[in-house]
């Protein structure tokens, strides 16, 4: 029997309705994808990696969106100072190809990352912010860059640093000044100021930074972000473009991530900490499993350092958030910070006076010359006896801190005693520099000890970001990240921002 006209019309309308539904679904899918593309610069690294891995969006699309964001926003803030779009897109296509084959590219799958210009990235100049190294093109990746690539990340640019990576501000004669996207009147921090500004403005999801006296933690603090200084030896380091570092940098300088979520720091640390035998200081300790007593100490003003009221309130508030999450928090005095800061100055200035003084004179960059003069005056002339006594005193301090942190796996203390400084405040006068040095006591002290420390953004005060610092046992970054996550979950996590100024 044939189909009746009524049944034919019914079948037609069913097919038409089904077709319309499919079209609507496809249009809806396209609309959602357009919305997702427009929001990509606001997404965290963890969100991007999940979306790329699930094929919700491709690594190529993520990279294109962030390259467009760099083209649009970077001229305002000057965070990314070396760009290579085609190289980035090629890396993104490799990630997409791996996913198409059913492979997992790694924890940073398709995540846009920036690299600081003081570490080697093959084919690009390791300028360290100075004209003397404008053409110092790296022949190989440093271990941290190699590890970031192996983790599936896409490097979208290289970020600014002050000349010689010597300041808590980011300005130099070669690349110019970086502005803070949250407030152009204040420093983006330094020396990883370009990295933090890039993350804060959504030019990347994770910024690579280095830290010898606060250069990860302070930019994160100034730009309203989280920043992790890992344990010495956790992340391998080596620049084949230069001679090996002297003892101060060997014992205190580390690489680490700056990001907009604690989860992003966790996956970034896992990526950066992969083994590389080129660094003899590297220690292959597994990242902990968060099995620990939830006990913390609160020290509002270590060694009597001056602490602004806004910073004090942030510290107390963070302690209350941890208590609400089941932590026991005791307000106690922590072991000495001031002596540790003095040792930091001795070791760092011994390196600089011996190995970089001539370069600082030849570069003739006024800001770094002024800062070097002030830091040298603070440390004094470092002779053989001074260096030996500093190394001896360091051991006693490490022992005292290790015992303290066994009892309190987390210490809550200031990142800085002051809200983020105004641009160029450090070179405005000798008095201003001295006051700033005192406010940065904890940043200078902790690298001496080799312990990990974490800047956790907690909000704003007086139109300037504010946060707290968490300090923990060596190789127990997992404890700091767990505490940081509890603070983040009880507040408002950092977000990417449009620098809305003329």
List residues with catalytic annotation: 116, 191, 215
Beta bridge partners of 460: 465
**R_g (Cα) of the chain, nearest Å:** 24
Distances (CA, A) of 202 to 156, 195, 214: 12, 11, 22
Report helix angle 338-355 to 384-407, nearest 10. 140
User: Whole-angstrom Cα distance, residue 152 to residue 162?
Assistant: 29
User: Whole-angstrom Cα distance, residue 35 to residue 38?
Assistant: 5
Q: Is residue 116 a contact partner of residue 50, using CB atoms and an 8 Å limit? A: no
CA angle 354, 355, 359 (to 5 degrees): 120
**Residue 166: partners with Cβ closer than 8 Å, 6 or more residues away:** 191, 352, 368, 371, 372, 375
User: Which letter, b or e, does each residue of 377-412 get, where b requires 16 or more Cβ atoms within 10 Å of its Cβ?
Assistant: eebeebeeebbeebeebbeebbebbeebbeebbbbb
User: Whole-angstrom Cα distance, residue 206 to residue 195?
Assistant: 8
Q: Is residue 464 a contact partner of residue 440, using CB atoms and an 8 Å limit? A: no
Beta bridge partners of 280: none
Q: How many CB atoms lie within 10 A of CB 417?
A: 21
Token pair of 86 as six digits: 């085609």
**Residue 86: partners with Cβ closer than 8 Å, 6 or more residues away:** none
User: Whole-angstrom Cα distance, residue 177 to residue 423?
Assistant: 10
256, exposed or middle or buried, with CB in 10 Å at 0-12, 13-18, 19+? buried
Token pair of 103 as six digits: 């492979």
User: Whole-angstrom Cα distance, residue 421 to residue 186?
Assistant: 6
Q: Is residue 84 a contact partner of residue 114, using CB atoms and an 8 Å limit? A: no
Q: How many CB atoms lie within 10 A of CB 41?
A: 22
316, exposed or middle or buried, with CB in 10 Å at 0-12, 13-18, 19+? middle
Q: Is residue 479 a contact partner of residue 473, using CB atoms and an 8 Å limit? A: yes
Token pair of 154 as six digits: 């896409």
């Amino acid at each position: 029997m044939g189909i009746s006209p009524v049944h034919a019309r019914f079948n037609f309308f069913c097919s038409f309705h089904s077709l319309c539904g499919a079209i609507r679904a496809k249009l809806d899918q396209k609309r959602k994808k357009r919305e997702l593309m427009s929001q990509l610069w606001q997404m965290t690294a963890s969100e991007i990696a999940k979306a790329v891995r699930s094929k919700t969006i491709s690594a190529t699309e993520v990279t294109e969106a962030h390259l467009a964001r760099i083209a649009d926003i970077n001229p305002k803030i000057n965070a990314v100072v070396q760009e290579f779009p085609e190289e980035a897109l090629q890396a993104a296509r490799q990630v997409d190809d791996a996913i198409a084959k059913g492979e997992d590219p790694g924890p940073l799958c398709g995540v846009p990352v920036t690299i600081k210009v003081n570490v080697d990235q093959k084919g690009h100049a390791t300028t360290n912010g100075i004209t003397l190294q404008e053409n110092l093109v790296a022949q190989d990746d440093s271990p941290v860059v190699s590890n970031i690539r192996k983790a599936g990340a896409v490097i979208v640019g290289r970020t600014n640093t002050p000349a010689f990576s010597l300041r808590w501000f980011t300005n130099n004669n070669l690349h110019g000044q970086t502005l803070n996207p949250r407030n152009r009147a204040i420093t983006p921090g330094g020396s990883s100021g370009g990295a933090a500004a890039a993350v804060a403005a959504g030019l990347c999801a994770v910024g690579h930074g280095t830290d010898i006296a606060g250069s990860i933690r302070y930019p994160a603090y100034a730009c309203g972000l989280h920043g992790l200084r890992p344990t010495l030896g956790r992340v391998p380091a080596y620049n084949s473009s230069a001679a090996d570092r002297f003892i101060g940098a060997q014992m205190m300088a580390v690489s680490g991530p700056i990001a907009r979520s604690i989860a992003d720091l966790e996956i970034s640390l896992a990526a950066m900490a992969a083994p590389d035998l080129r660094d003899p200081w590297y220690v292959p300790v597994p990242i902990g499993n968060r099995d620990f007593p939830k006990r913390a100490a609160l020290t509002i003003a270590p060694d009597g350092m001056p602490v602004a009221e806004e910073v004090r309130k942030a510290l107390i508030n963070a302690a209350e958030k941890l208590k609400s999450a089941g932590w026991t928090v005791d307000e106690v005095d922590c072991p000495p910070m001031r002596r540790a800061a003095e040792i930091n100055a001795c070791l760092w200035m011994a390196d600089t006076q011996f190995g970089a003084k001539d370069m600082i004179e030849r570069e003739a960059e006024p800001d770094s010359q002024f800062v070097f003069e002030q830091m040298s005056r603070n440390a004094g002339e470092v002779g053989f006896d001074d260096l030996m006594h500093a190394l001896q005193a360091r051991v006693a301090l490490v022992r005292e801190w290790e015992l303290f942190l066994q009892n309190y796996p987390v210490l809550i203390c200031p990142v800085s005693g002051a809200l983020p400084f105004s641009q160029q405040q450090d070179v405005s006068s000798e008095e201003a520099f001295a006051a700033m040095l005192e406010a940065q006591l904890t940043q200078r002290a902790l690298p001496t000890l080799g312990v990990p420390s974490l800047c956790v953004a907690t909000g704003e005060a007086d139109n300037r970001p504010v946060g707290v610092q968490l300090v923990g046992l060596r190789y127990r970054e997992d404890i700091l990240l767990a505490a940081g996550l509890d603070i983040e979950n009880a507040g408002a996590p950092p977000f990417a921002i449009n620098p809305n100024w003329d």
